[in-house]
Amino acid sequence: MMMKLDWSQVRWEEVWQASKDTLTMLGASLLFTIILGLLLGVILFLTSKRQLLEQPIVYMLLSLVVNVLRSVPFIILMILIMPLTKALTGTTLGVQGSIPPLVVAAAPFFARLVETSLREVDRGIIEAAQAMGASRWDIVRRVLLLEARPGLLAGITITAVTLVSYTAMSGVIGGGGLGDLALRYGYQRFQTSVMIVTVALLIILVQLLQMAGDHLVRRFSRK
Amino acid sequence: MQVVLFNFEDEHDVTGDSSSNRIMEQQEVIPLIELIDIRKSYGNSVEAVKNISLTVQKGEIFGIIGHSGAGKSTLLRCVNLLERPTFGSVKVGDVELTKLSTNQLQKERRRIGMIFQHFNLLSMATVRDNIAFPLELAKMPRAAIKQRVDELLQLVGLVQHADKYPAQLSGGQKQRVGIARALANNPDVLLCDEATSALDPQTTNAILSLLMDINAKLGITILLITHEMHVIRSICDRVAVIDGGEIVEMGDVVDVFLKPQHSITMDFVSQIADSFDPRELIGTRDGRLVKINYVGEITYEPLLFNAVKSTAVQFTILQGTVSRMKNTPYGQLVIEFIGADTEIDKVLDELRGKGLEAGDLK
């Protein structure tokens, strides 16, 4: 099937705007995801079995919440939490309106990655820190987060890439950005050229994120 | 707790030159670590430590030896309460650790350094930052930290490796970092958890002599656990042998080593002594087989020759060790005497008169 692509259909200023929107959504949601996910991940780790703050009930409840949020498909989650989104940002549309669902979807995912990387930290190092008189907070800040840094950076990279695909999906409910563009022109108006441009841009974005992440992980690996 | 006033000028004997001897004599009498009726069980069934009481004196190097699973690791961790004993009290210096709040305990732990079999260094921090870690915890000012870290690097001989990461170091170097880190806050006590078990024999000896140096120069009391008798013989003053969570034998290393009472102790001693058992000689020789032990300066005197030269008794050395235990020379010989029984008895009496132990091999 040969189809002639009409590149004149591509409105570059709209592509440019959509790219900026995607980057804004990605940046803002990644920032909040890291903050919330790190917090949640550290708590999950500390309250889990045989750890510093072992609290089986707290762990079980948090774990349940994380699992529930992770099992709801993003597209449905966006719709489900619309009231929350509206309360937080005043709108459910556009760049602002898509940030809360992105964070709610990505933070539990990232929290699990944080928990896993913290679990990789050698128990002996934690024990040594305790023997030196470190408080729990010292251990989290100076030992766990430091030692798990390569794992955390890898986790941030994976989360960022996941967020790129989520931002594209948020176009469905009018979230703006490249996904929105692809949907409105490429899908609804059969402008394949626009679709190709947006997909290419998304691929480039994901590549760049992955390369930057890999570079950081390598830079901070000491083993 | 007994208090003994001590005038070490009077006690200063002629055999030792060194200040370390004086420190040891002086410290002989001050208990620094007191474990009283320590029990530790996991769940309802497993009892890792059963009612152990132990006093480590200030300035000494005390070794606990046992097979894996004997409870020595748990016992060591009870000293700084990494493991909280199920029952019993732990006193370090004048402070009863088992009565402290979490905060107070964290402060007290800074007086108790600890090193580990697998070093447990921060893999993401340089040598310098690893050593600085406990100082940062103690909130020492930056400039003072730098100065202290430089001193410590000097002490353990790692100045040129200061900016490397642990993965770039050999095992021995890693343990030196561990030691520097443990000493950073000028602790009174150093706990060593199988500190040389992951090292090759040569490196082991280098680390052991570093530990002995630290003990002599800084007067730090060392409590170590190991499964290697070599470690005990090389640096310990006293030893406790533990098995099944209980102390089966305890005393000066010289005594325990030369006259082991318990079968577990004998096992450990045979790690070092020739694996050859002298009792196998019985019945294979015509002469009279005698075992001789001696300790101290007489090790280097020609006592055996002097004892036989006026008699017609001849002798052959069938098996023997002449070595040192920490700073004490000792020898253990199995000798075949050939001659009249009465004359041999005379020789043995003369040897006993010089302070040797001699007895027929049975």
A133, A147, A220: residue with CB nearest B122: A147
Q: Is A149 on the interface with B (CB under 8 A)?
A: yes
Q: Is A21 on the interface with B (CB under 8 A)?
A: no
Question: Which residues of A are less than 8 Å from B120 in CB distance?
Answer: 122, 124-125, 127-128
Across the interface, whether the CB atoms of B123 and A125 are under 8 A apart is answered yes
Q: Is A223 on the interface with B (CB under 8 A)?
A: yes
CATH architecture of the domain formed by B8-111+187-272:
3-Layer(aba) Sandwich (3.40)
State the Cα–Cα distance between residues A115 and A95, nearest whole angstrom: 30
Q: Show Cβ contacts of residue A139 under 8 Å, excluding neighbours closer than 6 positions.
A: A52, A126, A129, A130
The separation between the first and the last C-alpha atoms of chain B, rounded to the nearest angstrom, is 43
Cβ contact A103:A31 at 8 Å: no
- Give the pLDDT confidence score for residue B324 in this predicted structure: 85
Q: Do B8-111+187-272 and B278-360 share a fold?
A: no
Domain boundaries, chain B: 8-111+187-272, 278-360
Residue B279: Cβ within 10 Å count: 12
A44 CA: distance to closest CA in chain B (Å): 22
Which residues of chain A register pLDDT less than 70? 1-3
A123 CA: distance to closest CA in chain B (Å): 9
Q: Strand B61-65 vs strand B87-92: parallel, antiparallel, or unpaired?
A: unpaired
- Give the pLDDT confidence score for residue B7 in this predicted structure: 37
Over its length of 362 residues, how does chain B's per-residue pLDDT go in tens digits? 344 433 333 333 334 344 444 444 444 579 999 999 999 998 877 889 999 999 999 999 999 999 988 999 999 999 999 999 999 999 999 999 999 999 999 999 999 999 999 999 999 999 999 999 999 999 999 999 999 999 999 999 999 999 999 999 999 999 999 999 999 999 999 999 999 999 999 999 999 999 999 999 999 999 999 999 999 999 999 999 999 999 999 999 988 988 889 999 988 988 876 656 777 788 888 889 998 988 888 888 888 888 888 888 999 998 888 888 888 888 888 899 999 999 999 999 999 988 888 888 87
B202 CA: distance to closest CA in chain A (Å): 25
Q: Is B131 on the interface with A (CB under 8 A)?
A: no
Cβ contact B292:B349 at 8 Å: no
Across the interface, whether the CB atoms of A143 and B122 are under 8 A apart is answered yes
Q: Is B138 on the interface with A (CB under 8 A)?
A: yes
pTM of the model: 0.86
Optimal mutation site among A122, A130, A132, interface B, most CBs of chain B within 10 A = A132
- Give the pLDDT confidence score for residue B21 in this predicted structure: 44
Tokens of B209: 């002599």
Residue B1 has, within 13 A of its CA and on its CB side, a CA count of: 17
Q: Give residue for tokens 């447990």.
A: B120
Q: How many residues does chain B have?
A: 362
Question: DSSP secondary structure string, B96-154?
Answer: EGGG--HHHHHHHHTTEEEEETT----TTS-HHHHHHHHHHHTT--HHHHHHHHHHHHH
In what order do the strands lie in the sheet containing B189-193? B112-116, B189-193, B221-226, B61-65, B238-243, B246-252
Domain boundaries, chain A: 13-220
Residues B89, B92, B96, B102, CA torsion sign: negative
Cβ contact A57:A134 at 8 Å: no
In words, the CATH class of domain A13-220 is: mainly alpha
Q: Which residue of A has its CA nearest to B82?
A: A131
- Give the pLDDT confidence score for residue B274 in this predicted structure: 60
CATH of domain B278-360: 3.30.70.260
Q: Show Cβ contacts of residue A197 under 8 Å, excluding neighbours closer than 6 positions.
A: A10, A15
Size of interface A-B (CB pairs under 8 A): 65
Across the interface, whether the CB atoms of A132 and B134 are under 8 A apart is answered yes
